[in-house]
Structure 1
Amino acid sequence: MEINIMNENFIYSNYHVHSDFCDGHNSLAEMAEAALSRDVRSLGFSSHALQQFSSEWHLRPERYDEYAAAVASLKKDYSGKMDIFLGFEADYIKGYALPDISNFSKWNPDYLIGAVHFVPGEKGCFEADASVKDFPAETLKAGCKNIKEAVAAYFETEREMLSKCTFTILAHPDLIRKQNSKEQRFDENASWYKSEVKATVKAIKKAGVCVEINTGGIARGYLNQPYPSPYFLELLCRENIPVMINTDAHRTEHITFWYDSARRYALDAGYSELAFIKEGCLSFQKI
């Protein structure tokens, strides 16, 4: 018989939540109501942000004020029932976009998520979560000689972001794994790959950010484990780097997707506490 050793008074939180302001499928209000109905008591919205730029899945620059005002309105509506926070998932692209809190000061966000989705190459850039079919073509077009070089470029870009920017939460720290589950293109147990992870953990420690255990790759059918991998997460634990659970929800049904399994995932890696946001600061609670 399995013994439940998890905290019965656990406060459910989620700070990686998208809406139809970017590439989500539901409104802010719908996401908030779904969260409350699933016992979430601390919720943060994190629209994709590329500063003065945008794509089909980013918050458009002319809607930043509207987005911030809409979240502020929900904060009032849910006061006393659920804490709601304003955030952005800000992309890092060297020379163009920096997930730095100073660049978002106009909207006074409660937190900022730093993310690497685009990786520069000698002749352009490729998407870190590109499909398996497109990944080799994209990386070669960008000037990478092979998949190994592309993976190394991804982690190097992430470490560069960690060293240059000031943000609160690191998004899906090994997003490059997204397309490696169904059709393996590189060996995650290879010494070169583990060296990249170790170097990235060192950079995370130095930056002093919190890392998310992100279940979104499972929800969308790409992975059977969260970001980061068990190996990555164990290294984070050894360095006492704080982690929190986020579901990267783009739909109401994914607000708490795989959440309790993620709590056990953290326990298995050696963690006894998880981070959440309280009164503008990171707080911790027993898993």
Structure 2
Amino acid sequence: MKFDLHTHHFRCGHADGNIREYVEAAIGAGLKVIGISDHTPYFGSPEEQPFPFIAMGKAEIANYVNEVLQLKQEYEGKIDVLLGIESDFFPEHAESYRQALSLYPFDYIIGSVHQVSGVSIFNKNRWKGFTPKQKIAEKEEYFSLIRQSAQSGMFQILGHIDAMKGNYPSFSDILTEDALEETLKVIAECGVAIEINTSGKTKMSGGWYPSNEILERAHYHGVEVTFGSDAHKPSRVGEDFEEVAAVLKDIGFTEWVYYKQKRKVTVPL
């Protein structure tokens, strides 16, 4: 059974298409389940929309939820439309996010770390002038934030857990094995799934998030996995689903999961 839990649309300011187009694309790609998971508003500021090209405005989230719920009802029997959302994780604002998101009936929430030390993980210039020691410290802080997000209890899924390599492929070569192992152990203990996110191919690193090597370690630690294209245009919905399934089987996974009403649904590979 094909599913995709990670899709965006025009409200976030950096994706193309409306939600209906993603649902139709999912049907065309043979999916049985499509999760809509646009970026949350930025709840760490009193401003309505401090980052209009990154996240929707606060007043728009209710419209977003209502539209997805209407489409869920309209497409019932054709495809299962799930109400998801992708939330940033900022420890200092976690309670604000928790309270704001608790107002809506999300099927699942994806927790993603997009900033470390106040700078986007995708900023190509963030590594300039860093010593090897500073690079290690930044990578360790990234994984620390991921561990904290798993422990927060706010999320069913963690998004693209090695996406810091996206526009800096050398990130993968920074040696912090203990940080990665500890992170995977914590994720497994917390019962949170990680996604195989196929949008890495749209960045300088190419490939998927996380790498096959990390997936092998995740399997060893008993981490559960799910699938998300992280599509920012309808044509990418479900992209590489079969290829990801084949790799997971080779690694030794026998199933993956998705979430409905925040309850885990297991799907055989």
What one-letter code is carried by the residue in structure 2 that aligns with 1:228?
Answer: P
Q: Which residue of 2 aligns with 1:187?
A: 173
**C-alpha distance in 1, partners of 2:162/2:171?**
14
Q: Aligned with 1:51: secondary structure?
A: coil
Q: Which residue of 2 aligns with 1:8?
A: none
Structure 1 or 2: more helix by fraction = 2
Q: Which runs of 5+ in 1 are unaligned?
A: 1-10
How far the C-alpha of 1:205 sits from its partner, in A, is: 1.4
Q: How does 1:104-253 map to 2 (within 5 A)?
A: 104-120=101-117, 125-131=118-124, 134-137=125-128, 146-181=134-169, 184=170, 187=173, 190=175, 193-218=176-201, 220-253=202-235
Cα deviation 1:102-154 (Å, max 9, x = unaligned): 5412122111111100112xxxx1111222xx1224x86xxx96222211111
Change (3 A) 1:92 1:278: closer
Q: Is the 8 A contact 2:43 2:97 kept in 1?
A: no
Q: Which residue of 2 aligns with 1:67?
A: 64
The percentage of counterpart residues that share the same residue type is: 25
Change (3 A) 1:98 1:187: farther
Structure 1, 29-38 or 99-108: larger mean CA deviation? 99-108
Change (3 A) 1:66 1:117: same
**C-alpha distance in 1, partners of 2:55/2:226?**
24
Change (3 A) 1:280 1:96: closer
Structure 1, 80-89 or 164-173: larger mean CA deviation? 164-173
Change (3 A) 1:271 1:238: same
Which contiguous aligned blocks of 4+ residues in structure 1 show a shift greater than 3 angstroms?
97-103, 277-280
Q: Is the 8 A contact 2:198 2:228 kept in 1?
A: yes
**C-alpha distance in 2, partners of 1:103/1:110?**
15
Q: How does 1:19-98 map to 2 (within 5 A)?
A: 19-22=9-12, 23-49=14-40, 50-51=42-43, 53=45, 54=49, 55=51, 56-97=53-94
**C-alpha distance in 1, partners of 2:133/2:119?**
13
Q: Is the 8 A contact 1:101 1:112 kept in 2?
A: no
**C-alpha distance in 2, partners of 1:101/1:265?**
35
Structure 1, 170-179 or 157-166: larger mean CA deviation? 157-166
Q: Which runs of 5+ in 2 are unaligned?
A: none
How far the C-alpha of 1:285 sits from its partner, in A, is: 2.1
- TM normalised by structure 2 equals 0.89
Provide the alpha-carbon RMSD of the alignment.
2.2
- TM normalised by structure 1 equals 0.84
Q: Is the 8 A contact 2:6 2:229 kept in 1?
A: yes
